[in-house]
Structure 1
Amino acid sequence: MKKYAIILGALSLAACSDNTPENPGENQEEIVSVEKNVTINAGQAFQTMVGFGASDCWTPAYIGKYWTSSRDRISELLFSSEIVDGQPKGIGLSMWRVNLGGGSAEQGDGSGIVDKSRRAESYLTDNLSLDWTRCEGQRYFMSRAKEFGIDNFVLFSNTPPVQYTLNGKGFSQNGGSANLKSECYDDFASYMAEVAKHYVDEGYPVSHISPVNEPQYNWDGNGQEGSGWKNEEVAKLARELDAQLTQKGLSTNILLGESGDWEYLYKVKDDANRSNVLSAFFSSSSPAYVGNLSHVEKLICGHSYWTDGTWDGMRDVRKKVAQAAEQYGVDVWQSEWSMLGDNYSSSEFVGYDAASEMDIALYMSKVIHNDLTVANVTSWNYWVAMDVSRWGQKNRFLLVALTPKGWAGDKESIDNLEEEGSFNATSTLWVLGNYSRFIRPGYHRISMTLNESMSFFGSAWMSPQQDCIVAVYTNLSSKGIRLNETRQNWGGEPKTIKTYTTSGTKQLVEKVVQEGDPVVLDAESVTTVVYELK
């Protein structure tokens, strides 16, 4: 163990001095700062990370097909891990969730889904053959993700194909039960497995198929595709899918859960037939037990929506998730989050009207941190990678903001995504990058001890080769922070230390920390510290 202490000395005098630096924007954080103690102990290990990702639902279907001048740079922002002249070119996502659409797009206005941009394509034709020329835009982003070395492709389904649904639509009118013909469970399973096989044969690492999404909701509106599912119906589909994957010789696994919020995983909530999911799927006495299927890992996933309104509240729920997962011996993935809720505490969030993009991104960092360190998730996924900002949403629901040509603003639907416009990388993209670009697949979480609060928190991670330690800090205060570090069981001294800072004025900006200097965290920022070990 070696301790590195930074003595502040006459710091308070400097902070009050009238002698401002020549470049105040550059050095202000180092002058107005406070000291915080932190201990990182590499000898205590926790979960191993599978990856960070985002979903291609829905606009990539248009952007990948029509925005031919922009799509390369957009995909680079999402998938590239390259750093050029101290600036990451992208956020290095290591997971890509691909929507297996239900075919509403082919139905057009007859789909009943009002918003054209929310109608999804399907490979299944009316004569029940498969047309691999469809989903061109999605296929573009899949190919780019593969090119950049994405480790995990997850195929997820919001609805069965419309050819198999009870009402012939991608949205449901069947209440809390599946919008799937009773005789079509095997057909739906075969379709999903056949799509997976197609892409596996083309060299895509399709690690999982997620056959249902947020089954606790009825999805009976006309806003998007979806279906409710009872636990036993999900289990029936999983058994059929397991058989199809085995028949096709695939190693792809089945990802279950996708719960509308975390609480559905571990308790009876609303409808008993659609909640307490961990017990339903992994208790051997349950009629919905699927823990014995060869393609079902000890794994469950859920969404971080609706349980994120306060710091203490989100930690309490995530503690219960971790306890339930430990009880059943399963790992947990967080498979969707965006700032969807309307229940955020006024004492912890300024509100959507007053919030800046960075305010929203900093709040996201709270959720990521608590999902990682309290729920112990091994994968974390943002909701949509890109969309058009409307309804005054700013960057609440997206990473890359799109502005189609001639876009008129807050319309209910988007009808001109075929017209290429402009795009903007938002603060949510770069803050997610503070995690996704540097906490790579195979990194495991190690112990970090600090005086954690809702305004200052962090986590630390070690590479599989034990030659790199990454720490991610969030400082929501109005003052910079100088770290007083204690390093335990590192196995060597850092040969280089670099920080990557995202704030209201910085986007993963790199800084080399000179030997003997402290690590400094900007005010209202997320900072990743990368220690390359000797």
Structure 2
Amino acid sequence: MRSIFVVSWRTRQRSGGAGVAREFMPRFLSDSPSVSMLLPFITRRARWDSEHSLLWRIPFVTLVGWLVGVSILAGVAPGWGSSMGIRIDVKDEHQVIHSFGASDCWTCQFVGKNWPIEKRNAIADLLFSTATDSSGNPKGIGLSMWRVNIGAGSAEQGDASKIGSRWHRAECFLNADGTYDWTKQQGEQWFAKAAKARGVRYLLGFTNSPPVQYTLNGIAHADPGRTAFNIRPDALPKFADFLAEVAAHFDKAGIPFDYISPINEPQHAWDTDKQEASPANNAEVFEVTRLVGKALHDRGLPAKVAIAEAGSIDYLAYARGHNRASDQVKEFWDPSSPHYIGSVPNVARVISGHSYFTTWPISAQIEARERLRKRVEQIDPRLAFWQSEFCILESNDETTGGGGRDLGMNTALYVARVIHSDLTIADATQWSWWLGVSGHDFKDSLVYLDKLGGASSDPDPLRSDGTVVPSKLLWAMGNFSRFVRPGMVRVGATYDDHRSPADAASTVMASAYLDKKTKRLAIVLINVTKEDQVVKLSGANFRGKTVDSYTTSASSDLAKGSTSPCEVRVPARSVVTVVGAAR
């Protein structure tokens, strides 16, 4: 810690008593508003003092020392920036948290099948583990949902798939002759088993396209100009049976799906060579949901259909776009809608969407989430909102867009703010990042891969081996996922100075979560400023004189520490989670 005093009389003759007063006291104290009203007296005292005997300096020094002591007791500390009060109200209950997750697209198909087993396990530990090392530091971020891609068969087609990168193609369990080959997608199945072995609560199987055998054009993405679902009308029931058959296989393999998501981002055209995907309108989403729900129910499977994976949360809240795939909260959950799914069997009472292109400026980030929350409350207050996919795509004042990896805190803090807003403004119960693992140069992954010997511009060598590179984003997401567990309730966290969500988003954000059975309380603090901040907590009623803290910063990866339950130091540009037992 820096010395409290830097005493200097150099300016006594040059600037008189004012210079003495300001140089003698510490900078944090002379700049403090609480001292500003006394500064004129101190200045006059110091000016007189500079012209008289040294004996008169003793009272002056005593006064400054007294002010220092008062300031420290008030929570103003050298190098700690400003302080703020945050009150926790465990009786102010909001949504019940479902899970935090990520997906296995597309790199896991190679890593899970071909990589050395010790490296596979290392990656799985980073994503799924809730264990700690000998010092109590988490070994992983403890994801509680893992999203498993159910491929459409573009990998078997090769270049004929018209998907340029083999890394964006996927195998399909369904063969051309209608039989199934469960040895396919070995990499995805390995990671699903690794997730369950490490205690991941939920598995969700999702598709980007129907199997190529069922599509209109025989490939796994749409033709230019088409805005409807890329499937033959006669193949819709077959598609539903296919998903139910895949769910039954995973159930028998001991890695049962809890959810099936049959359509992804239906608002987009998906007519390029980037990946498996298809547009769809609301009527088609409804029909697919009805058929898949019935197929799961008829087989007695526990999995439930979860929709609608909207390409932006705006598509959930109001009518927009060109292919009649918007206002989906009302379309699917208003009993008066022709597309109401509330009476369909094996359907989860959720509406899912992606936070893309709704995060900047901050005012727009807040407004989009307030609008969605109000729409859900209006249509069905029991409906849960899932933010089921996000990565960096936008380019703005804080981020340069998706291109180019960022292993540091800039992206980590940007995403932490989005998580905070989705949870505290939109009342999301589930939050998922896009990719768990990637070897590409893009801001889309939690764990990155490099080819052996250095950074990779060609990801093909990574099909069989490479080096594992965790990002700061991994650990910052862990500040939520590792400690905010399924079933915990978000509780009130308010500022003593009544700062707005916009003001908090540019300073320190706070949210709190309670396990009502164990009384375990987790408080997540995000400091986006360039100064350390002191947060004075009240209302938490933690037991004991200290509580655990876990810090992610430029120098720490979810590092365990301890702190006062009443006053928490949050380092500059960091995320800190405080965990303890509440009374």
TM-score, normalised with respect to structure 1:
0.90
- Picking from 537, 541, 551, the partner of 1:501 is 551
1:178 aligns with 2:229: yes
1:331 aligns with 2:384: yes
SS at match of 1:417: helix
Q: Counterparts of 1:107-506 in structure 2 under 5 Å? A: 107-173=157-223, 175-271=226-322, 273-329=324-380, 330-342=383-395, 344=396, 346=397, 348-349=398-399, 357-390=408-441, 393=442, 396-405=443-452, 409-410=456-457, 414-450=459-495, 451=499, 452-487=504-539, 490=541, 493-494=543-544, 496-506=546-556
Query: Residues 407 and 473 of structure 2 are in contact (CA less than 8 Å); yes or no, is this contact kept in structure 1?
Result: no
Structure holding more helix per residue: 2
Match of 1:22 in 2: none
1:532 aligns with 2:581: yes
The alpha-carbon distance between structure 1 residues 389 and 504, as it changes in their structure 2 partners (threshold 3 A), is farther
CA distance in 2, matches of 1:66, 1:30: 53
CA distance in 2, matches of 1:157, 1:440: 26
Query: Residues 366 and 454 of structure 1 are in contact (CA less than 8 Å); yes or no, is this contact kept in structure 2?
Result: no
Shift of 1:288: 2.1
Larger radius of gyration: 2
CA distance in 1, matches of 2:405, 2:148: 34
- Give the letter aligned to residue 104 of structure 2: D
CA distance in 2, matches of 1:164, 1:272: 21
Query: Residues 261 and 302 of structure 1 are in contact (CA less than 8 Å); yes or no, is this contact kept in structure 2?
Result: yes
- Picking from 493, 498, 511, the partner of 2:561 is 511
Shift of 1:298: 2.3
CA distance in 2, matches of 1:117, 1:444: 39
CA distance in 1, matches of 2:462, 2:230: 29
Per-residue CA distance 1:435-490 (angstroms, 9 max, x = gap): 000000011000001233422111000013142110001001111112222116x4
Match of 1:5 in 2: none
1:75 aligns with 2:124: yes
Structure holding more strand per residue: 1
Match of 2:90 in 1: 42
Shift of 1:200: 1.8
Q: How many residues get paired?
A: 503
- Give the letter aligned to residue 474 of structure 2: L
Query: Residues 30 and 520 of structure 1 are in contact (CA less than 8 Å); yes or no, is this contact kept in structure 2?
Result: no
Query: Residues 14 and 31 of structure 1 are in contact (CA less than 8 Å); yes or no, is this contact kept in structure 2?
Result: no
The alpha-carbon distance between structure 1 residues 10 and 44, as it changes in their structure 2 partners (threshold 3 A), is farther
SS at match of 1:33: coil
TM-score, normalised with respect to structure 2:
0.82
SS at match of 1:416: helix
CA distance in 2, matches of 1:350, 1:184: 43
CA distance in 1, matches of 2:447, 2:211: 29
The alpha-carbon distance between structure 1 residues 355 and 111, as it changes in their structure 2 partners (threshold 3 A), is closer
Cα RMSD (Å): 2.3
- Give the letter aligned to residue 524 of structure 1: R
SS at match of 1:245: helix
1:51 aligns with 2:99: yes
Query: Residues 461 and 470 of structure 1 are in contact (CA less than 8 Å); yes or no, is this contact kept in structure 2?
Result: yes
CA distance in 1, matches of 2:491, 2:419: 16
Query: Residues 282 and 291 of structure 1 are in contact (CA less than 8 Å); yes or no, is this contact kept in structure 2?
Result: yes
- Give the letter aligned to residue 135 of structure 1: Q
SS at match of 1:459: strand
SS at match of 1:83: coil
SS at match of 1:507: strand
Per-residue CA distance 1:483-508 (angstroms, 9 max, x = gap): 222116x4x63464011000111100
Shift of 1:407: 7.3
- Give the letter aligned to residue 456 of structure 1: V
Q: Which segment is superposed worse, 281-290 or 103-112?
A: 281-290
Q: Which segment is superposed worse, 283-292 or 462-471?
A: 283-292
Match of 1:522 in 2: 571
The alpha-carbon distance between structure 1 residues 476 and 280, as it changes in their structure 2 partners (threshold 3 A), is same
Query: Residues 407 and 471 of structure 2 are in contact (CA less than 8 Å); yes or no, is this contact kept in structure 1?
Result: no
Query: Residues 231 and 274 of structure 1 are in contact (CA less than 8 Å); yes or no, is this contact kept in structure 2?
Result: yes
Shift of 1:297: 2.8
Match of 1:97 in 2: 147
Shift of 1:305: 0.5
SS at match of 2:172: coil
Shift of 1:205: 4.1
Query: Residues 479 and 524 of structure 2 are in contact (CA less than 8 Å); yes or no, is this contact kept in structure 1?
Result: yes
Shift of 1:126: 1.0
The alpha-carbon distance between structure 1 residues 235 and 498, as it changes in their structure 2 partners (threshold 3 A), is same
CA distance in 2, matches of 1:235, 1:462: 36
Per-residue CA distance 1:394-449 (angstroms, 9 max, x = gap): xx2110011134777445xx433323111100011000000000000011000001
Runs of 4+ in 1 over 6 A off after TM superposition: 9-12, 350-356
The alpha-carbon distance between structure 1 residues 16 and 38, as it changes in their structure 2 partners (threshold 3 A), is closer
Q: Which segment is superposed worse, 217-226 or 267-276?
A: 267-276
Query: Residues 305 and 346 of structure 2 are in contact (CA less than 8 Å); yes or no, is this contact kept in structure 1?
Result: yes
Query: Residues 257 and 302 of structure 1 are in contact (CA less than 8 Å); yes or no, is this contact kept in structure 2?
Result: yes
Fraction of identical pairs, as percent: 35
CA distance in 2, matches of 1:241, 1:407: 45
- Give the letter aligned to residue 398 of structure 1: S
Shift of 1:138: 0.6
CA distance in 1, matches of 2:478, 2:375: 29
> Unaligned regions of 5+ residues in structure 1, if any?
1-8, 18-28
Match of 2:40 in 1: none
- Give the letter aligned to residue 72 of structure 1: N
CA distance in 2, matches of 1:354, 1:421: 17
